[in-house]
Homo-oligomer: A and B are copies of this chain.
Amino acid sequence: MRVEIVDVGPRDGLQNEEKTLPPEIRAGLCDRLAAAGVPRVEAASFVNPKRVPQMAGAEEVIAGLNRREGTSYAGLVLNEKGYERAVAAGVDEVRYAFPLTDEFARRNQNTTVEEAAALAGRLAGRAREDGVRFSVTLSVAFGCPFEGEVRPERVLEVAGQVAGASPDEVVLADTIGVGVPTQVRALVQELSEIAPEETAVGCHFHDTRNTGIANAVAAVESGATVLDASVGGTGGCPFAPRATGNIATEDLVYTLHGMGYETGIDLDALIEVAGWLSEQLGKELPGRVHKAGAFAPVSG
């Protein structure tokens, strides 16, 4: 079976790093990921650079790509203006994200869940006309740093509304890394049942409490076909206190390949990308497989 991995490292990974990498390096990261066989790369964030300075120069990142045939380059957007910037910049896909609690929605993008969900429907229509792939991410689907528990009924209510607009995918995001496998299975199974056939179900996990890979396994075994991850395990969320990085793409690929899933990714090449990114950021990254290596017996 195939799992489609979206490397969100150039966006979610780098947006919370202390060191800001210039657009040409971020474009270079995307190129390296594409060369390693990553099928989809979240290359840039079309948000206000005053709020997230690490993401400044989104247009330059997209313009700086050496686009690889078969790779899809995405831009994250939080509102209609971002959508327009992303499409004008020439992304292959727009990924629109909004939170499932009003408090987080207000802090993160100055909106309400109701308004944000309505916008998902409008953007889905525009994306169809514009001929770009369109994905909707539902943040804090497994718990909110401000409101606490997010009831599964509420998640599915909003997810169902969004799925009704037939986006290419709906992604459940564990923004602050609190979910556990039983929770993942229940939500993914139910969302898979209510989503239209043309809408893929994806998941986005942070490894804040070390549950990320377990949750990813639970997700693909329950019907998710898309998983976000960041090479090296960089990342976090500037507006989610104590959130740490995304699951590391190389750790995810190691696990999925070992379990018999196909990803199209060359793990050894990906491990090299993690090493390169670690050098660019001048720090050790939390991913583990790029340090331990894929399994090979040692001699001596």
Q: Which residues of A contact B (CB under 8 A)?
A: 143-148, 176-183, 207-214, 216-218, 241-242, 244, 247-248, 251, 254-255, 258-260, 287-289, 292-293, 295-299
Contact = CB atoms under 8 A, between A and B. Distances in A.
A108 to B, nearest CB: 14
Contact of A242 (B143, B148, B207, B292): B292
A288 B217 contact: no
Contacts of A288: 207-210, 244
Contacts of A254: 180, 209-211
A211 B213 contact: yes
Contacts of A179: 258
Q: State the copy count for this chain.
A: 2
Nearest to A241: B298
B182 A260 contact: yes
Contacts of A295: 143, 148, 176, 178, 209
B217 A181 contact: yes
Given A182-B260, A288-B208, A147 B297 contact: yes
Nearest to A259: B182
Contacts of A218: 217
Contacts of A296: 148
A210 B211 CA distance: 9
Contact of A297 (B145, B209, B298): B145
